[in-house]
């Protein structure tokens, strides 16, 4: 079967789902269920739950959307114990066979009190998932891998990699490391705005959050960016590399570049004024018309 068969070619990544289900968003979840059902009907293959979601956050979306896969993008290994995660994933698998993917990551030092030796910690967490009373099969999990060692671990111990804040060049390098069999499902940030200067301003407003996190800046340095590229929300060169900017057709062209570089699936994140609360449904509709969702 194709590597992307479980996820589809394109999915939607959003932190709004996790915030709402955690209680930081609106109390009425009706709109979120409606949005999930619409994404399903539009042909998106996966809804990625951003913002360190628990496994159970997938339930209302799986209920609302009868076909779509739901994935965590990502669940932090520091916050959720492996045994509990394995048990809850097993319950989801029994209720919604084949429709949940466990995305795991090491998060960032400032977000986790116990953060230490992230590569070794991930290996130990995978060992714990393997030895749990309800083991998590390797093909039911993906890793938020950026660097070569974590990509190799994703290749050897999971279905593949779900890198965040990456470029076409990183995608090509990741494919080389992952080989021909592992899944590669990067996240891609999108600003739907035909005015390029305005789109870059919107992108910088969001990118500033991530340029404070060494895991991301370290990866960007490996890709040839310099410290000057991180100033003032990011240089034009950096913004253009990690975002798709412009109208829906321009985004589709950028998505094609990632696919040509080796991506199997793209998790599209539409950046708005408040991307961790907004549900940009009109933008998702426009993109559905431009992207080859069935391709």
234: left (phi over 0), alpha (psi -120 to 50) or beta: left
Reading the block at residue 293, the tokens are: 């969702």
Reading the block at residue 227, the tokens are: 């410290």
Find how far residue 204's CA is from the centre of its chain: 19
Residue 22 CA to residue 51 CA, distance in Å, equals 10
CA angle centred on 257, ends 269 and 264, rounded to 5°: 70
pLDDT digits (tens, 9 = 90+) for 127-149: 999 999 999 999 999 999 999 99
Reading the block at residue 78, the tokens are: 């520091």
Quick one: DSSP state of residue 168? H
User: What integer pLDDT is reported at residue 107 of this predicted model?
Assistant: 80
User: What integer pLDDT is reported at residue 18 of this predicted model?
Assistant: 83
Tokens 């938020």 belong to which residue?
144
User: What integer pLDDT is reported at residue 3 of this predicted model?
Assistant: 73
**DSSP for 181-213, written as a single string:** TSEE--EEEEEE-S-HHHHHHHHHHHHHHHTT-
Write the secondary structure of 235-281 as one string of H (helix), E (strand) and C (coil): CHHHHHHHEEEECHHHHHHHHHHHHHHCCCCEEEEECCCCCCCCCCH
Global pTM reads 0.96
**Tens place of pLDDT for every residue, the chain, 295 residues?**
677 788 999 999 999 988 888 766 555 578 899 999 999 999 999 999 998 999 999 999 999 999 999 999 999 999 999 999 999 999 999 999 999 999 999 986 666 667 679 999 999 999 999 999 999 999 999 999 999 999 999 999 999 999 999 999 999 999 999 999 999 999 999 999 999 999 999 999 999 999 999 999 999 999 999 999 999 999 999 999 999 999 999 999 999 999 999 999 999 999 999 999 999 999 999 999 999 997 5
Find how far residue 56's CA is from the centre of its chain: 17
189 φ/ψ angles, rounded to the nearest 5 degrees: -80, 140
């Amino acid at each position: 079967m194709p590597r992307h068969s479980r996820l589809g070619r394109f999915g939607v990544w959003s932190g709004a789902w996790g915030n709402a289900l955690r209680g930081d968003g609106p109390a009425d979840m009706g709109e979120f269920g409606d949005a999930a059902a619409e994404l399903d009907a539009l042909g998106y293959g996966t809804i990625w739950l951003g913002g360190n979601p628990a496994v159970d956050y997938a339930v209302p979306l799986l209920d609302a959307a009868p076909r779509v896969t739901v994935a965590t993008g990502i669940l932090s290994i520091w916050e959720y114990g492996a045994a509990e995660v394995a048990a809850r994933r097993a319950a989801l698998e029994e209720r919604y066979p084949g429709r949940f993917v466990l995305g795991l990551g090491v998060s960032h030092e400032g977000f986790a009190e116990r953060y230490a030796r992230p590569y070794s910690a991930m290996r130990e967490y995978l060992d714990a998932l393997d030895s749990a009373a309800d083991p998590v099969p390797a093909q039911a999990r993906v890793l938020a891998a950026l660097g070569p060692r974590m990509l190799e671990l994703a290749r050897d111990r999971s279905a593949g990699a779900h890198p965040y804040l990456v470029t076409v060049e990183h995608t090509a390098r990741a494919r080389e490391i992952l080989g021909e069999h592992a899944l590669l499902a990067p996240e891609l940030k999108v600003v739907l705005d035909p005015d390029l200067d305005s789109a870059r301003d919107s992108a910088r407003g969001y990118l500033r959050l991530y340029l404070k996190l060494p895991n991301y800046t370290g990866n960007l340095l490996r890709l040839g960016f310099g410290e000057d590229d991180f100033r003032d929300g990011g240089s034009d060169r950096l913004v253009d590399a990690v975002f798709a900017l412009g109208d829906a057709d321009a985004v589709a062209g950028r998505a094609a570049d990632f696919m040509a570089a080796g991506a199997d699936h793209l998790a599209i994140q539409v950046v708005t004024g408040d991307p961790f609360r907004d549900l940009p449904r009109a933008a998702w509709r426009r993109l559905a018309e431009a992207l080859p969702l069935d391709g």
